[in-house]
A and B are shown apart, each in its own frame.
Chain A
Amino acid sequence: MTATDTSTEDEIRSAANKRRSMISRYLGHYSLIIGGGGLLLLILVAVFAPLITWHDPYLQDLSSRRIPPIWHAWFYDNPKAGWLHPLGTDPLGRDYFTRLLYGARISLFVGLAVVAISSVIGTTLGILAGYFGGRVDMVISFIVTTRLAMPVVLVALAIVAIFDGSLQVVILVLGFLLWDRFAVVMRSVTLQIKHQEFVTAAKAVGCSNLRIILTEILPNVANSLIIVATIEMAVAIIYEASLSFLGLGVQPPLPSWGLMLAEARPEIFFASWMITLPGIALFLLVLFVNLLGDGVRDITAPEGRA
């Protein structure tokens, strides 16, 4: 009797310990906290942009062009800088802070939409290749190799040039180009789990391949899927900015950060803050997304920590 008592007590204690260690693991991972928190903050900022700023991101005002940011009033005694435009204005007199806020919407939307497309394509191909193996694997691996041999920026630029740049075209082009990592990772993860007992059991019971893939394989690749999704979201955000910067992405007057960098480029000799600010915004967003992915990886696969 006492023996069972202590054993249940032990179990309870170990369960509590386990829970505590789970929580401390979550809290202990700065990358998850900083990444997740920062990303959440940026999403909130993007969604509630009209409540945070009182300016219109598209309103041009030629009488207040190239106003420097507020710190120019503090450090350089520049009388033009003021709290009306805390981060200054661009060459067309549009409020820079406002455009940066609205720019977060574009980057976040592009990142999420591209990942939505590419994850479906890549995961389907990867799981099919890993699960069926043989000829299917050969064909899909060939498709992946072909895709990898094509220079993404160049192909994306060429396609966008043909269909004329717009947000939708950029998202579609990147979505149909950036699925390779999903395919490669999903294939290897599927290869690892397809010989495990629960898959064999499902086969023995007579489940169809489709059902095994949907109910046995898919839930078990979800962790890797999330990690790859964060990587590809960051990549997609940078590519959108690069394409827009080169003039073959999102078109004016949309406040894409890449486009803002392109518009600020002629100002490089006079107003370098116009180049610094959108870059910092891009850097922070990509950093948060990457940190979130690192954090998820640390928690779900501690052995993969490197």
Chain B
Amino acid sequence: MLNFILRRAGIGVLVLMAVSILAFALTNAAIDPAAAIAGDSASADDIQAIRELYGFDRPLHIQFFAWAQDILSGDLGQSYRQRRPVSEVVMERLPVTMILGASAFVLALVVAIPLGILAGLRPNSWIDRLALGFAVLGQAIPNFWFALMGIVIFSVNLRMLPASGSDKWQSYVLPAIALAYYAMPTLMRLTRAGMIDTLQSDYIRTARAKGLRPPMVVLKHALRNAILPLVSVAAVQLGMMLGGSVVIETIFAMQGIGYLAWESITLSDPPVVQAIVIIIASFYVLLTLLADIINAWLDPRLRGR
């Protein structure tokens, strides 16, 4: 088991290294950071001075190693626009995204899993058709439009929820729903498919033949195995929610890292963008690692792989 975890963690570290090289290349090779810092009205001399001050005149690979070394020691660099450490800027904004992502994730699971169980218990019944219908329709609605319609209905017409900001708990309701509903169809379908699969297996028949009460069979015996495939997908979905919150946070002007990323891109502040890409990638790597470990713990056959 320890071997398995170490191997997976090793791959995760390599992935993060690859992502940071790409993030660095993306922003440093393609634009002139000195010109970006200096702004539009700067003269050539100013830009040259900034280039020397920040060390942009060094070869790219040396800049990269210096940058990577800084990151490893926890220094994410300086924001060009805000003139303070990137880590400070990002840390201020991280809690909002965390709360938003976590509440959307819980909401998605709380709706999708029971619905998937109900649909899987009675395939082709009206509730199954209803659930699948919702899944098909839901998957076709772009989530930023869903968010806009939420604003039109609940903020503009009914005046129940705020249209922007992230200072009150009410501000999180619409964004969390908009983020969550998009993950629901996938989670619902997986739960349903897992349920149908396990309910046909021999041990469920045995449990039923023993005379266990049906709810007991479903919840205690079937559900455990049915949601095995859900673990890794749910981890990926949570990672996507943290990354996909760019659009939703921007629509609602929430002070999270998604909105910060959009601001930093439009204001050309590469260090912040790089940091956010790496942070989101780290979350993704950590979450998939966690899912691998949970799966290997639940199903020992996976450990050999």
Q: Is A294 an interface residue (CB 8 A)?
A: yes
Q: Is B261 an interface residue (CB 8 A)?
A: yes
Which of A146, A159, A161, A245 is close to B268, meaning CB atoms less than 8 Å apart? A161
Q: Is B219 an interface residue (CB 8 A)?
A: no
- Nearest A residue to B284 by beta-carbon distance? A149
Determine whether the beta carbon of B148 is less than 8 Å from that of A279: yes
Query: Which residues on A sit within 8 Å (CB–CB) of B276?
Result: 154
CB distance from A250 to the nearest CB of B (A): 15
Q: Is B44 an interface residue (CB 8 A)?
A: no
Given contacts A242-B144, A246-B250, contact A158 B273 (CB under 8 A): yes
Query: Which residues on B sit within 8 Å (CB–CB) of A145?
Result: 11, 15
Sampled A-B contacts (17; CB under 8 Å): A148-B284, A149-B284, A150-B281, A151-B244, A154-B277, A155-B26, A157-B261, A248-B265, A272-B152, A275-B148, A275-B149, A275-B152, A282-B142, A282-B145, A283-B142, A287-B136, A290-B140
Determine whether the beta carbon of B193 is less than 8 Å from that of A154: no
Q: Is B141 an interface residue (CB 8 A)?
A: yes
Q: Is A183 an interface residue (CB 8 A)?
A: no
Report the contact-size class of chain B (Cβ under 8 Å from the partner): 35 or more
CA distance A161 to B11 in the complex (A): 31
Determine whether the beta carbon of B148 is less than 8 Å from that of A246: no
Given contacts A151-B281, A248-B265, A261-B144, contact A287 B247 (CB under 8 A): no
Determine whether the beta carbon of B277 is less than 8 Å from that of A245: no
Query: Which residues on A sit within 8 Å (CB–CB) of B266?
Result: 161, 247-248
Interface size on A, residues (CB 8 A): 44
Determine whether the beta carbon of B262 is less than 8 Å from that of A146: no
Q: Is A153 an interface residue (CB 8 A)?
A: yes
Proximity string of chain B (14-41) to chain A, C-beta cutoff 8 Å, 1 when within and 0 when not: 1110110010001100110000000000
Q: Is B139 an interface residue (CB 8 A)?
A: yes
Given contacts A142-B11, A145-B15, A148-B284, contact A154 B27 (CB under 8 A): no
CA distance A291 to B140 in the complex (A): 10
Query: Which residues on A sit within 8 Å (CB–CB) of B15?
Result: 142, 145-146, 149
Given contacts A149-B16, A154-B261, contact A268 B284 (CB under 8 A): no
Given contacts A248-B266, A268-B152, A272-B156, contact A153 B145 (CB under 8 A): no
Query: Which residues on B sit within 8 Å (CB–CB) of A23?
Result: none
Given contacts A149-B15, A157-B246, contact A268 B156 (CB under 8 A): yes
- Nearest B residue to A279 by beta-carbon distance? B145
CA distance A158 to B268 in the complex (A): 9
CA distance A151 to B265 in the complex (A): 14
CB distance from B154 to the nearest CB of A (A): 12
Which of A269, A283, A294 is close to B141, meaning CB atoms less than 8 Å apart? A283
CA distance A142 to B11 in the complex (A): 8
Determine whether the beta carbon of A159 is less than 8 Å from that of B243: no
Determine whether the beta carbon of B243 is less than 8 Å from that of A279: no
